[in-house]
């Protein structure tokens, strides 16, 4: 990370650490929600922004991890670490299986296959009542106690989410800046040329797909503890589309863009819904305006204005 980027990032990190104790409960919960969805959006950005693969089924891994936490926490009273590891493993394993099917397709066919796979998971969540409780969902997911500190109140859980966010960001930053990440960007720009240079394009795409699923599972595990309730909504198409909007709105291929997009979408979703039930219409109009005026997202527009 260059010094020009490190300074504002450090300032934002300092604010996220220092300001929360002085915030009322509702803004604090919104901030925590932004952090969780920022992890989710960054995981999709690894596919969309860096590899050039637009997925409409990314919520499947988010929801599978959330269900894993819900089932283990409510029925087996498993510890936080067991639930977290099981959730990430489940999401990664399903992404590994789905990747064998999806990566073989390109363009709109990849989009449609991921949509179909995501709807399969939604159907299981909706119909497998003995495990998922169907449309009623699984409730009563209690927040854990870590190192003697209860995470039941908003402030301690916010700091847990913040710590996980920093770890996820650091890991993703290392991935996208590594030779592997640079290869993904080359595949995004010119897949044929990368294949001619001897790169295993399919394997690179597959590994990116699996990694994205694992990080989405990390966000899903946090969300289960945050909300205390998991239902088929977590794996629904709308959740995938919202995450896709976060990446496209903030600016794909940047990691910082999805964070900004997550903040915008979460604030719109929670604040506008107080005043109108048609907040999705307003959000859609904002998204259309951004795409028409700034195809590279808000962050791309800011970079263009600076140049």
Question: pLDDT by residue (tens digit) across 72-100?
Answer: 999 888 889 999 999 999 999 999 999 99
Within a domain: 11: no
> What does the radius of gyration of the chain's CA atoms come to, in whole angstroms?
19
Within a domain: 279: no
Residues 6+ apart with CB under 8 A from 206: 99, 100, 103
Within a domain: 252: no
Spell 219-256 as b/e; 16+ CB within 10 A means b. bbbbbbbbbbbbbbbbbbeebbebbbbbbbbbbbbbbb
Q: What is the pLDDT of residue 2?
A: 56
Number of domains composing the chain: 1
- Nearest Cα neighbor of 149 from 160, 140, 138, 136 is 160
Q: What is the pLDDT of residue 307?
A: 62
Mean pLDDT for back-to-back runs of 10 residues, the chain (307 residues): 64 79 87 94 92 89 94 89 94 93 85 91 89 86 84 89 93 92 89 85 92 94 92 88 88 88 87 74 75 74 65
Tokens 């940047």 -> residue: 254
This prediction's pTM: 0.92
Q: What is the pLDDT of residue 223?
A: 94
Structure tokens at 99: 């990747």
Three-state DSSP state, 76: coil
Within a domain: 67: yes
Within a domain: 278: no
Tokens 């119909």 -> residue: 127
Q: What angle do CA 296, 271, 282 make, to 5 degrees?
A: 50
Q: Alpha-carbon distance 34 to 147, whole Å?
A: 25
- Nearest Cα neighbor of 144 from 86, 82, 75, 233 is 82
Structure tokens at 138: 């699984």
End-to-end CA distance of the chain: 20
Residues 6+ apart with CB under 8 A from 117: 57, 60, 98, 101, 102
Q: What angle do CA 90, 92, 97 make, to 5 degrees?
A: 95
Domain that holds residue 140: 31-236
Within a domain: 144: yes
Three-state DSSP state, 80: helix
Within a domain: 200: yes
C-beta separation of 169 from 255 below 8 A? yes
Q: Which 8-state DSSP code applies to residue 146?
A: E
Within a domain: 281: no
């Amino acid at each position: 990370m260059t010094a020009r980027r490190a300074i504002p990032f450090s300032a934002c990190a300092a604010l996220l650490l220092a300001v929360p104790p002085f915030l009322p409960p509702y803004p604090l919960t919104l901030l925590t929600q932004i952090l969780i969805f920022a992890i989710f959006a960054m995981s999709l950005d690894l596919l969309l922004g860096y590899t050039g693969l637009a997925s409409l089924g990314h919520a499947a891994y988010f929801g599978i991890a959330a269900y894993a936490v819900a089932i283990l926490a409510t029925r087996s009273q498993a510890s936080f670490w067991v639930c977290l590891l099981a959730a990430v493993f489940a999401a990664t394993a399903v992404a590994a299986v789905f990747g064998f099917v999806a990566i073989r397709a390109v363009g709109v066919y990849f989009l449609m296959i991921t949509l179909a796979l995501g709807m399969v998971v939604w159907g299981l969540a909706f119909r497998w009542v003995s495990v998922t409780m169907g449309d009623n969902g699984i409730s009563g997911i209690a927040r854990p106690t870590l190192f003697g500190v209860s995470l039941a109140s908003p402030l301690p859980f916010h700091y847990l989410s913040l710590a996980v966010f920093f770890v996820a960001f650091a890991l993703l930053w290392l991935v996208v800046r590594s030779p592997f990440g640079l290869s993904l960007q080359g595949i995004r720009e010119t897949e044929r040329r990368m294949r001619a240079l001897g790169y295993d394009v399919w394997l690179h795409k597959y590994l990116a797909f699996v990694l994205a699923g694992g990080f989405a599972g990390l966000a899903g595990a946090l969300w289960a503890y945050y909300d205390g309730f998991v239902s088929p909504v977590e794996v629904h198409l709308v959740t995938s589309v919202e995450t896709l909007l976060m990446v496209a709105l903030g600016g794909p291929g940047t990691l910082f863009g999805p964070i900004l997009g997550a903040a915008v979408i979460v604030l719109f979703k929670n604040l506008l819904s107080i005043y109108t039930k048609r907040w999705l219409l307003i959000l859609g109009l904002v998204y259309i305006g951004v795409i028409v005026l700034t195809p590279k997202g808000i962050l791309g527009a800011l970079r263009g204005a600076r140049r």
